[in-house]
Each structure stands twice: as structure tokens, then as C-alpha cells.
Structure 1
């Protein structure tokens, strides 16, 4: 018998996903550039499945959607996720996006403002993109194939966590992310710009950043999400880097659900 608390789906007609919980409040959860929905596995045991239904989606080229090809841009992500919400029968729901899908929460909320109850952006890249200089872009590009570069990046954004941690993230990426989509999503996160579409967007936002995440800090949030969204607030998690869902799972679960409970309407 399949438990509703951890229902796995592999869709042939749309994005693959994993469902957790069967509560009345629906939450669509998106992953980052380097990993798929399994980045959230550590946090799942601490989520309230009686109050919330979480769907952890895999974008095209990732995890359960690794077979799906596409344009790998934010408009496609938004369209795919709204199509999935339709398939699930969700008219109104909450969004969570991590890193590169921080901008996807903005695109979806701008495209379908009446459907989004609230959004949580975790260590997010915004609608202004992450404008990398030439040297940084070369380094990020090298992580798509160079294992040592990948490990350096993962350790850097998590405040110098162990080599074993970096190896776990490397295996996840190489096994669960299609090589052909890596450069496409990198171009998206480094060149996308749709700020005028989201400026003044009234969707309630919680911005979560990690104290040890060197690039996506409080200053970056003040110049982007907090400057554009009148109903946004910021929360910093101490002693944590770019992956709070893996670095401090119980605390992360508490933080997101404390916010979500205030947005039930």
C-alpha cells in the first residue's frame, strides 16, 4: 500500500515529482541548479504532512524529469510548473524556490498572481539574474564537467564544509542532472532579466539566506527582492550556507512552516 506521506510520481506527460503529505495547504517546491528534488530529502521527515501537501518537482533535465529536453529558461520553468499545478488540481498554492529557482518563484507569481498564496525564496537569485564577470562565468561553466571545480564551488557556498559533503553533492549532480541542461540553466541564471515584470508584486515573500553563503547575502536581498516586493521579509539562518535544507533540516522545516501557517487564507 502506498503511503500518502511519501508518494512518488514519475510523469510521462509533464514534470516528474515527489509528493509528501496530504494536508489542505499545497506547496510546490523547486530545486537549485546543482541538484534535483533529492536535495530536500533530509528535511522531509520534519514536515507537517497533515497540514501541508508538498510537491517536490524536478525541472527538465533533473531527477524524475531527466529525460525531458527543453529551452531551459525561466519562462519554460513557470509554464511547466503551472501545468503541473493544473494536473494536480491546485488552483491556489504556495511556492518555494532555491537559488536559481528564486527567480522562478517571481516569474510564476508575475504570470499567475491570483494563484500564488505566498512564496519562499531560499538563498535566491532574483529576476535581475546573477550577472557574472567573464572569469566567474568560466569557473561556473567548468563545474559542469570538471569534478574538482564542482567540489570547490560547493565547499565555497557552504562556508567550507567537508570534502565528503562535496563528494555527496558531486554524485547527486553527475547521476541526477543531464549534462546537456547544465549550461542551459547556467545561461538562464546569469543572463535573465525581468525586473520590471515583478516590481511592486504584492505576493507575500519570505527570503531565507544562510549566514555563510558568501554571494547571496543581506545586501543582495536589499537590492533585489526587498526593494521590489512590498510584502517581503528576510530571515537569516546562523551557521549555515547555501543549502539550509541539508545543512540544518529541522530548523529549516520549522522556519518555512512558521511562515506558511501565517499565509493560510
Structure 2
């Protein structure tokens, strides 16, 4: 039997979004620095729309929110997402963040700990930010306008995917991301530091990395997310780079939903999260 799932575009809230599924468990999903909600298009058909309602949000400057100006800060994204949850009528929900928005899962959990049932951080930058050398910062900044530099970045982090995939990612990024917001969020990434606000948060966490992601590896996660969050667990996806939702969609869907269903089951039975 086909799941009664439906994709709809949000126009009645501050942030734009795509909704998938109509299940009782609510999941807010955020994208990375280089693309909007459509980075998750390949994984959507693999998700359980009976059990979950997913809202794939576009933060300011991306996708459905591309015309929204802002300060482009950690605090602003958290506030916008919590406002969206209010408008959706979600009192308690799960959050998923990828890369840049990995740190936003931490900010939201710190800002509203009673509302965040669990968090999933995918190939994430942490609350400590991503301090870059002057040379690396100059390269990342160049990708905002330079297609060849952006192509090199996607090729570097993608774990060996085809040139055709890289070309598609470049076009997706150019079509769905405003250059002004990219510059603002890059500043956010390299200056953010709110570790003291998240240290000791008891929110159940699943941290996911690919074993071919060159910068955000398991050692980095052990020093950050796993060191700060007592209820965090790490999963390393084999033969995968920085985009598991595109590189291995069925596996990624099974991984996150296995975690979410375990958290929901533990909540129903009043037990603490069982970490692996």
C-alpha cells in the first residue's frame, strides 16, 4: 500500500518549506551551506510518511526563502525555525541539520530543550565553528561567485561521485542560493562559538559522517558532539562523502528513521535513550 504522503510548498510562514508525510512524529530538516531543501529530494521517497511528518525548511536566502534578507546568524536561524514550528503547531519535534546547520541543531536544542525530542547532525559543523586558515577562507569565499571553484569544492567533499553529479550540484546551488546569504553564512561558520551553551545538553543525538568526507570525520565528532552531549552516538557510513542523503538515499533514510523510531519508542515507554 502506497504511503499517503504529499509534498507541499509553504507560503504562509516566514520561512519557506516542503512538507512530506502526515505521520504523528514531527521532524524539522535543515540543509547545508551550498544548497536548499532540494538536496533531500532523492531521499524523500524512501521516508516513512505514515510514521513521520517531515518539514524540509529553507533558511533565509535559500530556495523558497531566497528573497528573505537577514542577519544570517546562528541565533536568527534558530529563532526562525522555532517560529516556524510554532506556526506549524508543533510543541515538540525532532531536528535534522546537515553540515552548516549541524550547529543549528545544537542552538535550537539549547534555546528550547523541552521542545526538541532528539537531534540528528549529518556531517556537521559544530558549535565551535569551523576555523579556517586565510588560504582556506579565501577559497571558500571564491566559491560564492566562481563556478570552477565551487565545482572543485563539491568534487573534494563528495567521495568520488561523477563529474555529472558535480555539475548538477553546481547548477542546483546557483539556482537556489543567494550570493549575499552565502557570504553572511560563511562569516557565521568561521566565527561561531557557543560551546558553553550546549555542553551537557541531554538531548539524544545521532551524529552521522561519511568515511570519505575529508574534513568532518569521526575524530572531529569525538572531540565535539560526542564530548559535549552525554546522549550522543556516532554512525560512520562506509564509502560515503559529505552528502549521504544523495549518495546513499535508502541507507540514509533507514539510518535516521531507525534512530527516530527508537527515540519515539523510548519516550512512549518512559525509558532513557539506549546508545550504541
**Structure 1: gaps of 5 or more residues:** none
**What is aligned with 1:134?**
134
**What is aligned with 2:79?**
79
Task: Return the offset for 1:190.
Answer: 1.2
Q: Secondary structure of 1:86's partner?
A: helix
**What is aligned with 1:233?**
233
CA distance in 2 between partners of 1:196 and 1:227 (Å): 12
Runs ≥4 residues deviating over 3 A:
none
1:177 matched to 2:163: no
What is the TM-score normalised by the length of structure 2?
A: 0.94
CA distance in 1 between partners of 2:142 and 2:225 (Å): 29
**What is aligned with 2:66?**
66
Q: Secondary structure of 2:114's partner?
A: helix
Q: Secondary structure of 2:253's partner?
A: helix
Q: Deviations over 1:176-208 (max 9, x none)?
A: 101111100111111100000000000000000
**What is aligned with 2:159?**
159
**What is aligned with 2:193?**
193
Task: Return the offset for 1:45.
Answer: 0.5
1:257 matched to 2:257: yes
Task: Return the offset for 1:158.
Answer: 1.2
Q: Is the CA contact (8 Å cut-off) linking 1:6 and 1:18 kept in structure 2?
A: no
CA distance in 1 between partners of 2:20 and 2:32 (Å): 19
Q: Is the CA contact (8 Å cut-off) linking 1:103 and 1:126 kept in structure 2?
A: yes
Q: Per the alignment, do residues 255 and 13 of structure 1 end up closer, same or farther by CA in structure 2, a change over 3 Å counting?
A: closer
Q: Is the CA contact (8 Å cut-off) linking 2:120 and 2:205 kept in structure 1?
A: yes
Task: Return the offset for 1:13.
Answer: 4.1
**Structure 2: gaps of 5 or more residues:** 268-276
CA distance in 1 between partners of 2:74 and 2:193 (Å): 10
CA distance in 1 between partners of 2:163 and 2:249 (Å): 20
CA distance in 1 between partners of 2:159 and 2:4 (Å): 36
1:102 matched to 2:102: yes
CA distance in 2 between partners of 1:79 and 1:4 (Å): 31
